[in-house]
Amino acid sequence: MLDVLFYAYVKVVFYLIIFVFLIYLFMLNYSKYNSCGNDFIIIDDRQEKFLNQSGGSDSSNRTQLYIQSLCNRDNGIGADGLILLQLSQQPNSLYHMVYFNSDGLVSSFCGNGSMCCAHFASSLGIAGKQSICCGKFDTNTGLFSFEVNFQTNKAQVSLVDVKNIKIDPHGIFVDTGSPHYVVFKEQINNIDVNKEGAEIRYSRRFEQKGTNVTFVSCINQKISIRTYERGVEAETLSCGTGAVAAALCASLKNLILDYQVSVKTQGGYLKVSFNRESDIFSNIYLQSIVEKNFEGILPKI
């Protein structure tokens, strides 16, 4: 009788272990990060589990709706965007980064997201186990460099060279890896960013692809910005590519003289550095302190 009970107990334990193993095998973890309040859900997708988790291909409605639900601040985890860290697709690259806005669609380059992803990737040991990690990563728009200091939690990423800046009487259009229409104002504290930003973002000029809209105040060579982000369709606490766009446009208008500046956002300060030859900008870098807020297990769709 005791033997029968013992073997029954062993059998239950065995199946319980198998059940736990299967849960572990198919579950997908996430980490929540932010840079100056611009926040992201980041997932290690090197084993390409995310599409199975979301229930469809990366272009499917199911995946888009799943990302929307995760980014929803009322019923989901809440974030401005979602980032997949995948295996590198270019030589000399340590990883590939895919960025989705909170609307669930793949978007262009994200500065704050890239810095957060660099910290996440480095914490996984992808760039070694030093206190200061550096290397390159690739996106759909090219190859970029990063550096992460774990002692200070400072992260830095490179951006694309910028040229073909378009100036009109109302603002400046510049592509810093993500398109921005930059509008200079004497003060930006009291403007309705969501209203004014949406009017420009959905105007006839930008109706085909849309644009981010960055409002800039530059007084005594000190830059402050507020950004309406395409894909979020609202103001975010900070925007990395928007900070870069503001700095470059301020330099173009000779409102700043230095090629290394701090940009104040609603969520904190971003640092931008660059080289300039006439109206062409190169060696552009964005730096910030990034924070890992928490981690968890992604819910099923």
Positions annotated as catalytic residues are: 110, 239
Q: Contact at 8 Å (CB) between 210 and 198?
A: no
* 4 CB burial (10 A radius; 0-12, 13-18, 19+): exposed
CA 282 from chain centre, in angstroms, equals 21
How big, in percent rounded to 5, are the helix, strand and coil portions of the chain? Answer: 25, 40, 35
Among residues 274, 279, 249, the alpha carbon closest in space to that of 259 is found at 274
- Token pair 């509008």 in the structure block, residue: 183
CA 272 from chain centre, in angstroms, equals 16
Q: What are phi and psi of 289, to 5 degrees?
A: -95, 125
